Amino acid sequence: MSIKNLKCTVAYKGTAYSGWQKQQNFPTVQGLIDYALFKLFGGEIKTTGASRTDAGVHAMGQVFNFCVETKFEPDGIRKMLNGLLPQDIRIKDCVEVDYNFSSRHNAREKFYRYIIYNRSTMPPVYNDIAWHVYDRLAPARIHEILPLFKGKKNYFTFSASSDAKRYEREIKSIKIKVSGPWIIMDFRGRSFLYNMIRRMAAAFVDYARGTTNMADVEKMFEINDRANLTSTAPAHGLQLVKIIYNKHNPHTKAEVL
């Protein structure tokens, strides 16, 4: 048997979990995957995730990798893991990659989506997957402030308290789409600070509501003070859509995302 480095794409509904990262005494997605791997292979397996999602945040395309000595084929491992995991965690695919591949360090870009339902009443079926904003917004106004987010910026005001050593980030793109009651905010970037997207979504809603103006948003970048932005959008409206890798990544044996 040979040691294989396996790259898996996983989708999950984050409602019941305290985020992705394994924690003591709290149910997490990584913790359940690690336990399923332990039961499958009879020993501790260390997984590495591409991105750390917070409690209540969902994922369509989280990626993790792990090394294991096994005779099983990757797709067989996928099927067996799904048989051991709860229904709100599904392994979508599993492929063998180069031994030096890291789902975290080789990631080129992360694609997050924030979903808002903007009507006075929201069907209960959407309760866990969208932020229900009752008062009518003017989402077209958000495009007025998007130029402020271009280029490398200091996002201290848009972050929550964390152990980050630097707060400069560059967002590759932000797209706002509206369809009936739905407001979809798509964010792409190399990396994001803790709660950064949720706080940006809250700032966009405040601006679309008319409770803040251009000068208020400019101040959020000019003065590093979290008090300039007092709200954070709820976790359940956020989902990790995809982790993007270079198409010809030298560390992969199979096609990347």
Catalytic (active-site) positions? 54
- Over the Cα atoms of the chain, what is R_g? 20
Burial class of 253 by CB neighbour count within 10 A (0 to 12, 13 to 18, 19+): middle
- Structure token pair of residue 37: 């791997």
H helix count then E strand count, the chain: 5, 10
The answer to whether 116 and 208 have CB atoms below 8 angstroms apart is no
Residue 82 identity (one-letter amino acid): N
Which residue shows structure tokens 């280029």? 151
Residue 144 identity (one-letter amino acid): E
Question: Residue 63: beta bridge partners?
Answer: 9
User: Concatenated DSSP letters for 127-187?
Assistant: TTTSEE--SPP-GGGHHHHGGGG-SEEE-GGGS-S---S--EEEEEEEEEEEETTEEEEEE
Alpha-carbon span 39 to 15, nearest angstrom: 24
Burial class of 65 by CB neighbour count within 10 A (0 to 12, 13 to 18, 19+): buried
The answer to whether 158 and 200 have CB atoms below 8 angstroms apart is yes
